[in-house]
Structure 1
Amino acid sequence: MAGTSHYILPRPDFDEAPKLLIVISPYYKDIADNLLSGARAEIEAAGGQHETIEVPGALEIPTAIGIAERMSNFDGYVALGCVIRGETTHYETVCNDSSRALQLLGLQGLCIGNGILTVETQKQAEVRADPADQNKGGGAAAAALHLIALSRKWGRSKQGVGFAHDILMAGNTDGTPTA
């Protein structure tokens, strides 16, 4: 809708630089490069650090984020890619399943900015990916940064949970369990 303005939250401040993983599918290389440029610029403007990995397609992005969460120490994730409608229902499958998987990871507490474009045409993708236009890569990075700031505000715990943790918490002040 032409002439519509959108409110953009101010960039969050961090005492300690956040570390983000950008997971990108370069299926449409020019679009992916623009998304990546916007995301990197936003993370760096917030004083953050980032790494980038490539996966074959949008469906692999949530899986890569899940693996990274289990095996590394990132504060948040930026999912970048593009799905352009084709002649088959594959478009709906890729759009719905990648989005749903990212949402489920987010509901588990991961800080994810979703920058997977789902568009009808190449031109729509180009406008949305362009850092000088809609900058959806930068927007996805900003979303991840805001979620990281929120998780830090509420003291996201990296402590273990379960039986051993419960015994320690029920123990004496020196950490030994009570009898």
Structure 2
Amino acid sequence: MFGADKGTADKLDGTKLHIGIVQARFNESITNALATACRSALLDLGVQEKHITHVLVPGALEVPVALQAMAESDNFDALIALGCIIRGETYHFELVANESGAGVTRLSLDYQLPIANAIITTENLDQAIARQTEKGRDAAYVAVEMANLLEALS
């Protein structure tokens, strides 16, 4: 929920982490803003620039296959999915939103690898613009927090 009380995590330390970002190009102005906010937050959390791998794919349905390739490489402590799906006049919105989300979740569980899902789904462009910075930053925080948690649990 936009503006929700997300609670406060312990001090997040990304200094030793390797993070992969998969960004969908569809709705590129929004996904570029998501990526900029995400990268900035990762750097703020101590993730080294050289430990951030950022790739682009055509759209949200292609995000899971790139995430899978990254997960299989075993080079990452966490991954981040960035995309923007804006409702149109057809059922295609539901298909893309549901399938991309299910793919991201399935990969995270299959590989036991944190994947922060910031493929935003909105009713219109104004809603996407309103969320692009916050959701990009949120994804970075989720990735670092979950990578640290899974490390502590192992």
TM-score for the superposition, normalised by structure 2: 0.89
The unaligned stretches of length 5 or more in structure 1 are 156-179
In structure 1, the residue matched to 2:115 is 112
Percent identity of equivalent pairs:
34
TM-fit CA distance, 1:81: 0.5
The 5-angstrom pairing of residues 129-148 of structure 1 reads 129=132, 131=133, 135-148=134-147
Gaps of 5+ in 2: none
Amino acid at match of 2:131: R
Q: Which one has the bigger helix percentage?
A: 2
Q: 2:86 aligned with 1:84, yes or no?
A: yes
SS class of match (1:24): strand
Which residue identity lines up with residue 96 of structure 1 in the other structure?
Answer: N
1:3-152 aligned within 5 A: 6-10=5-9, 11-14=11-14, 17-48=16-47, 49-108=51-110, 109-129=112-132, 131=133, 135-152=134-151
In the TM superposition, residue 142 of structure 1 has moved relative to its aligned partner by: 1.1
Distance between the aligned counterparts of 1:31 and 1:123, measured in 2?
Answer: 10
In structure 1, distance between residues paired with 2:4 and 2:69: 37
- Distance in 2, matches of 1:54 and 1:87, equals 26
Q: Which one has the largest radius of gyration?
A: 1
Letter aligned with residue 126 of structure 1: I
Structure with the greater relative contact order (CA < 8 A, sep ≥ 6): 1 or 2? 2
1:66-112 per-residue CA deviation (whole Å, 9 max, x = no partner) reads 01111250111110010001111010000000111111112221111
CA RMSD after TM alignment = 1.8
Q: Read off the aligned partner of 1:119 and give its amino acid letter.
A: T
Counterpart secondary structure, 1:59 = helix
Which of structure 1's runs of 4+ aligned residues deviate more than 2 A?
7-11
Change (3 A) 1:107 1:72: closer
* 1:17-61 deviation digits (Å, cap 9, x = unpaired): 211011001211211111001110111111113111000000111
Q: TM-score, normalized by length of structure 1?
A: 0.77
